[in-house]
Amino acid sequence: MAIVVDKKEKRRLIALSCKGLLLEHGIKNLTVSQIAKVAGVGKGTIYEYFANKDEIVFEIITLFIDQFQEDLAKVVANDTLTSREKLEYFMLLVFSRNYNKELIIYQEFLSIALSGGSSGIVEFRNNCRDGFEGVLYKIIEQGIKNKELQQNAKLLIPMIRYFHTGLIVDVALGQAEAKEEIDKFINSIFNDIVLQEE
């Protein structure tokens, strides 16, 4: 009787086994040979599950993002926090000590995507963006429901995302300090924009 392999699960297991490798070497320096060795499979097996190195990197980054979004989901579901606290948590989480190495990989990924990466990289980046916007939307919606924010606050979602992405780049370049910039940004949203009378 033939052994049935769950291809999706096998991809995930290969990616899981290589998480540390990506964090150690970065995207550009990662090789399929290294991946195969760490995963304990042949190079040919890697290509049975992934078309190229980009796909492997996407799978590993997806694992990071899944964990990140899981952490965010707990905060979004916490009814004892204000929408301001949730937004601050959302913006600071990526800069936290827990995500230090992942942030470096994400910064490298962003630099590749921003410098005209492959269509796969751009599509993957767009999917990540959509996921983060979904979390922001929930935070803003809860703020509106709890009368902490006005209805027009939804218009801020793209601006918040653009600020956050730009801040990730500026922090990587040593041109900004995350906490300080996030505090100023959130203060301007809550004090100057959102809470003003329409």
What is d(CA 103, CA 101) in angstroms, rounded to the nearest whole number?
Answer: 5
Residue 5: the pLDDT is 63
Tokens (6 digits) for 9: 């699960």
Read off the pLDDT of residues 3-15 as tens digits, 9 standing for 90 and up.
Answer: 656 788 888 888 8
Comparison of pLDDT for 167 and 123, the residue scoring more: 167
Q: What percent of the chain has pLDDT over 90?
A: 14
pTM score, two decimals? 0.74
Report residue 34: phi and psi, to 5°. Answer: -60, -45
**46 has pLDDT over 80:** yes
Q: Are 184 and 156 in contact (CB under 8 A)?
A: no
Give the residue extent of every domain in the chain. 53-193
Q: What is residue 5's three-state secondary structure?
A: coil
Residue 51: the pLDDT is 85
Question: Chain centroid to CA 150: how far?
Answer: 27
What is d(CA 113, CA 127) in angstroms, rounded to the nearest whole number?
Answer: 13
- Identify the CA nearest to 62 among candidates 144, 119, 123: 123
What is d(CA 27, CA 115) in angstroms, rounded to the nearest whole number?
Answer: 14
Give me the CATH code for the 53-193 domain, please: 1.10.357
Q: Could you write out the DSSP letters of every residue in 162-178? A: HHHHHHHHHHHTTS--H
What is d(CA 142, CA 140) in angstroms, rounded to the nearest whole number?
Answer: 5
**181 has pLDDT over 90:** yes
What is d(CA 1, CA 186) in angstroms, rounded to the nearest whole number?
Answer: 60
- Identify the CA nearest to 14 among candidates 29, 33, 35, 32: 35
Residue with tokens 């924009």: 193
